[in-house]
Amino acid sequence: MAGPTFDQHDGEIWYDGAFVPWADAKVHVLTHGLHYASAVFEGERAYAGHVFKLEEHTKRLHASANILGFELPYTAEQINNATNELLSRAGLTDAYVRPIAWRGSEMMGVSAQKNTIHVAIAAWQWPSYFAPEERLKGIRLDIAEYRRPDPRTAPSHSKAAGLYMICTLSKHAAENKGYADAMMLDWQGNVAEATGANIFFVKDGQVHTPTPVCFLDGITRRTVIDLAHKRGLTVNERTITPEELEGFEECFLTGTAAEVTPVSEIGPYKFVPGALSKQLMDDYDTLVRAAGAAAIAAE
């Protein structure tokens, strides 16, 4: 992304209950969340100045924190109000919003139950996660070396910072080979997700997607499933093996950042972005922008 690095933006960040200059939103080098990944976050998207499904995102932020064993010192209403005010103060319309909560620096060690819990929210203007022309023709995915872990070994249903380490490694490896992203398998070798988005397939007019056993049941994922049902489509949430990829006709990713993004290739497997993928992409675009317009009308 062109422009200043993320520590040098203009504007404000909501930090522990107050709006502070962007450059002043800092943590100490011995912050527990930095060393031991005791941090949870959300990725949110604003359309026409309003976050799509803000309440669901904030509810998940609280739930993620609880899974990691801490409580946020702010209510959902306080966080929602802070998010809305942040967008308004910055004059942002189509934007990305990043709330994050983490354990502070009172204790440095594996155990830090009494550390202060901090919360911050940042927002910035952000275009589509993938370039528009790339999105329409379908992006290319590698198959990641790392797998999503057994849910008995990691807090899979928390949007926790530590779970994204292998995502960064896998996306970097894919980009170094010329791909846009990577598809990850689960610990049993079945299809899981991309590094930051859920995955769907199309065959014979039906939609297929992995059951979210060891990864997040994304808010965009659930929204797209609802849109598919409204179209009268059958959605099969099930175990999908890599060998099945050869028989699927279409493939697309869903996520707050990715929205609905068609896929043309996963390793040796080829797909053609077709009518069903494009229809759901258009339906999602229409829904989120209508929600933004409705929020403005309600003000």
* Position 97, amino acid: V
Closest CA to 83 of 56, 102, 104, 105: 56
Q: Are 227 and 280 in contact (CB under 8 A)?
A: yes
Q: Are 224 and 278 in contact (CB under 8 A)?
A: no
Distance CA 36, CA 45 (A): 28
| 159 among known catalytic residues | yes
Closest CA to 67 of 16, 109, 101, 116: 101
Torsion sign, CA atoms 198, 238, 245, 151: positive
Q: Which of 26, 59, 159, 278 is catalytic?
A: 159
Pairing relationship of beta strands 181-185 and 139-143 according to DSSP bridges = parallel
**Sequence-ordered strand ranges (E) for 195-234:** 198-203, 206-210
Q: Are 103 and 117 in contact (CB under 8 A)?
A: yes
Question: Helix, strand or coil for residue 179?
Answer: coil
Q: Cα 64 from chain centroid?
A: 13
H-type helices in 122-218, by residue range? 132-137, 165-176
Query: Pseudo-torsion of CA 173, 177, 178, 179, nearest 10°?
Result: -50
**Sequence-ordered strand ranges (E) for 181-289:** 181-185, 191-194, 198-203, 206-210, 235-238, 250-255, 259-266, 269-270
Q: So which residues are the catalytic ones?
A: 159
